[in-house]
Amino acid sequence: MAEVATGTEVPPNVTIYINNLNEKIKLEELKKSLHAVFSQFGKILEVLAFKTLKHKGQAWVVFEDVSSASNALRQMQGFPFYDKPMRIQYAKTKSDVIAKADGTFVPRERRKRHEEKGRKKKEQHDANQPGIGLNPAYAGAYGATPPIPYPGGAKAMVPEAPAPPNSILFVQNLPHETTPMMLQMLFYQYPGFKEVRMVETKPGIAFVEYGDEIQSTAAMQALQGFKITQQNPMLITYAKK
């Protein structure tokens, strides 16, 4: 039996290969959505997807450890991602991130580091001039208080009086690039999911409806503090009716 498996089976490793992805989705949105959906299984080091025709409809997700990759493969196999069931297997080739970590990577880092330094210098320069090159959400950190409270910012993090449990969740502190589809894929995993509503004029917030308050509570407990990006832990409360 073991001999039959050799050569056909890819051994479990930290990188999963996904294909049958919806090719109409923009590359950046695809990568962010994959990160959002898969980060529940463990720390993600990298999400890779490319524009080239050869790589369309495919992506690679690199986890920090093999058990995370195995759980993701098992639980997300066939998951309807942008209306197409994902096909997932372990990647055959080692990711650059892992090759760097175990010393087998052929260095091409020097130029990158130089660019990184230049970028950081520019960011530092911008940081010292409030309002220049800054998202208004972060202006407060440099001493300039934005006149209008930012819907996803610090003020929204402290709800005045919590609403009683009900079937609709109020989600705050979302990154601006969040799309309804990203949230749908996150909340869809929990029983009773009905719909996601976002308000175009108020980025950073969303409403998610479930069949009843028991189902909404289960989803809230599972996703409370979930990070779509490293800077944005979700704050989930019951919606005020």
Q: What is the pLDDT of residue 68?
A: 93
Please indicate, yes or no, if residue 203 is contained in any of the structural domains. yes
Please indicate, yes or no, if residue 188 is contained in any of the structural domains. yes
Please indicate, yes or no, if residue 10 is contained in any of the structural domains. no
Q: What is the pLDDT of residue 196?
A: 93
CB 56 within 8 A of CB 25: no
Q: What is the pLDDT of residue 132?
A: 42
Of 43, 77, 99, which marks where a domain is finished? Answer: 99
Report the relative pairing of strands 15-19 and 87-90 from DSSP bridges. antiparallel
Under DSSP, is residue 18 helix (H, G, I), strand (E, B) or coil?
strand
- Cα separation, 234 vs 223, in Å, equals 8
Domain, as residue range, for 71:
15-99
CATH number at residue 23: 3.30.70.330
Please indicate, yes or no, if residue 137 is contained in any of the structural domains. no
- Cα separation, 182 vs 209, in Å, equals 15
Please indicate, yes or no, if residue 200 is contained in any of the structural domains. yes
Which residues in the chain come in under a pLDDT of 70?
Answer: 1-8, 94-160
Nearest Cα neighbor of 220 from 206, 241, 231, 230 is: 206
Number of domains in the chain: 2
- Cα separation, 241 vs 234, in Å, equals 21
In the chain, helix, strand, coil percent, each to 5? 35, 20, 45
DSSP 218-237: HHHHHHTT-BSSTT-B-EEE
Please indicate, yes or no, if residue 204 is contained in any of the structural domains. yes
- Cα separation, 45 vs 63, in Å, equals 6
Please indicate, yes or no, if residue 209 is contained in any of the structural domains. yes
Of 73, 99, 125, which marks where a domain is finished? Answer: 99
Please indicate, yes or no, if residue 61 is contained in any of the structural domains. yes
Of 72, 99, 126, which marks where a domain is finished? Answer: 99
- With a CB cutoff of 8 Å and minimum separation 6, the contacts of 11 are 90
Residue 135 has a CB neighbour count (10 Å cut-off) of 8
